[in-house]
Chains A and B, each alone.
Chain A
Amino acid sequence: MDNRFDVELASVTKRYGATLAVDAISLRIPRGTYCCLLGPSGCGKTTTLRMIAGHEAVTDGDILIHGENVSDLPPIKRGTAMMFQSYALFPHMSCLDNVAFSLKMRGVAKKERHARAREYLGLVHMADYADRLPAQLSGGQQQRIALARALINRPRVLLLDEPLSALDPFLRVKVREELKRLQRELGITFIHVTHSQDEAMALADLMVVMEDGHIRQSAPPRDVFERPVSPFIARFIGSHNVLTAAHGQIAVRADRCRLGAAGDGPHVNGQVIAVEYQGAMVRVAVKTEAGDEVSALVPDQMFYRKPAEPGDLATLVWSEQDTHALMDA
């Protein structure tokens, strides 16, 4: 048994009737990794997560956890635990009973399971809420209970289905930090589905970008950001310009572009169509002579020394070393 990886997907396919939701994807997630599945809606990331969890049957291929083939096992036997997008806390049970639920299903005596549950409530800083009902908690609090409930079984892999989507921006950042800290402390693998590239980049050790049921790129966030493999990824990850050059398509980071004069280096001419103040940076959107839309992310001080306005002619310049060749989509 190969135990180098926590989770392995071997050519996993999911078909719904005639629709192919996930097309023969393969992935290996090393032990104790924070892995994010990222992609636009309909790309198959949630389906993949649910197949790993065991809530969705695999049409073809195998799923291995800690080297064991779990493809036919029910969720509880896989060593996974899932945190649902809606939290799915049982509305008729107290927080304590919610967390202790899986122990109850296994027949653990009341005293013992309540004690264990209190431990885990303490872990998520919700010990005082043990007797409250879910309806009496805020969204962030409910999420912590859901987390405790999932962790009490000491899973090897924690699966999170868009856990931050319903939170407001401030809370999102705060909870994000907590999730990362928790993963480090527990040392287990987290697989986190999201459609937000900011979130994925902030959290992931391994970022898996999916499109149309395929894995397009699977690498640490820095690799994906600096060396996107295809135009789709460059565009999806944001802050990249995709241009057609002599030998194919290239990507350049928007923050490595400047407005300047055309010199020997790579450049493109066009007209400013929008100027967007973003605080530390200013985004200048330019429509090139060829009709492409590109943008430059300029530090604010630099921009305001020589501000540009929509309608101005402009040239976008960057250096050769920042050009990155893309494989065709």
Chain B
Amino acid sequence: MSTTGLISDLPIGLKKTGSITPKRRSTRLPPWMVSWFQVGPLALILTVLFALPTTLFLIVSFYDYDRVGIYPAFMLDNYRELLTTPATWRVYASSLRFAFIVWAITLFLGFNIAYFLIFHIRSGVMRTVLFLLCAIPFWTSGIIRTIAWIPFLGRNGAFNQMLMGLGVTSHPLDFLLFSDFAVIITYVHLFTLLMVGPIANSLSKIDPALMEAARDAGASRWRTMTDIVIPLSKTGITLGSILVFTQVMGDYFVVRQMSGGQSASIVSMLSTEIQAMQYPPASANAMVLVIFVAILVGVMMKVVDVRKELVK
């Protein structure tokens, strides 16, 4: 065994602290450096492809422009125009309205489905199968799933035909398609899984013994739910809410397709400007949305320390 340089050449026996011990020579990297090597690529990609572009549109949002091109400048005109146009506020309000409604519905559905899967299904295999059943549609492109609703909800669509066939209505319901109803239904269809996943994850971490203890102390099923289950699933609910909100606010396609032109989305406004190569106002628009989303997410994350829960 080669231990040259490390062998203490003093009499073996009790040694006083700190007196003779040879200098610690460690050839291992300090742990924080190892971690940085491991997260390096991630950090690099996210910085270059995400943080930098965001800074880019921060900068460009202050630029001047005309029909020909864009010019570096520092003006607040783009923002002023954006924030003083009633159309902007209308679109934000409309998006927020959709977001809230969809959030409420997906929360209700998502929580109940997650609860059902975690607490009512006894067999692990069954639970996986049912969960997969929920997840499979998610693997089809959002575009396809959106347009799938068109033949379903249209005047000649399957749903109307079914209703008429069952005798519930005598003529096709018009409001089903190309309306707010259609938009909301589509959003719910697309995004409920985003609620089910995180909430199911949170619920599965609850020790079943807690619920038995509550029962033991006399809590009704309802009280157990409100006092124990829901508080302990706060993380999942927050995560799911963040995902649903940001997806709805950032949506581009669904509103365009399903509202029949009655509503616009923030992002579709943006894409119009981009197509017209009006980058400065598009950037300003983007910046406002970014800040808006950041505030929303920030508030939600204040409620729960997501990092502690996830990274543990």
Query: Which residues of A come within 8 Å of B, CB atoms?
Result: 2, 8, 10-11, 13, 24, 26, 57, 60-62, 64, 67-73, 77, 79
Contacts and interface: CB of A to CB of B under 8 A. Distances in A.
A72 B4 CA distance: 11
B17 A62 contact: no
B12 A8 contact: yes
14 contacts: A8-B12, A10-B15, A11-B16, A24-B17, A60-B17, A61-B15, A62-B15, A64-B12, A69-B22, A71-B6, A72-B24, A72-B25, A73-B3, A77-B1
B8 interface: yes
A8 to B, nearest CB: 7
Nearest to B26: A72
B168 interface: no
A61 B3 contact: no
Given A68-B1, A73-B3, A2 B12 contact: yes
B21 A60 contact: yes
Contacts of B14: 10-11, 26
Interface of B: 1, 3, 6-8, 12-18, 21-22, 24-26
User: Chain B binding site: helix, strand, loop or mixed by DSSP?
Assistant: loop
A69 B6 contact: yes
Given A61-B21, A62-B8, A62-B21, A69 B15 contact: no
- Shortest beta-carbon contacts, A-B, top 6: A2-B12, A10-B15, A11-B17, A26-B14, A11-B15, A24-B17
Given A2-B12, A64-B12, A69 B3 contact: yes
A29 to B, nearest CB: 13
B141 to A, nearest CB: 35
B12 A67 contact: yes
Contacts of A2: 12
Contacts of A13: 17
B12 A70 contact: no
B6 to A, nearest CB: 5
A24 B14 CA distance: 10
A69 B1 CA distance: 10
Given A24-B17, A60-B21, 16 more contacts: A2-B12, A11-B16, A26-B14, A57-B26, A61-B15, A61-B17, A62-B8, A62-B15, A62-B21, A64-B12, A68-B3, A69-B8, A69-B22, A71-B21, A72-B6, A73-B3
Contacts of B24: 71-72
B32 to A, nearest CB: 15
Contacts of A72: 6, 24-26
A13 B22 CA distance: 15
A72 B21 CA distance: 11
Nearest to A24: B17
A57 B27 CA distance: 13
A73 B4 CA distance: 11
A70 B6 CA distance: 8
B17 to A, nearest CB: 5
B134 to A, nearest CB: 29
Nearest to B15: A10
A102 to B, nearest CB: 17
Nearest to A73: B3
Contacts of A24: 17
Contacts of B17: 11, 13, 24, 60-61
B16 to A, nearest CB: 7
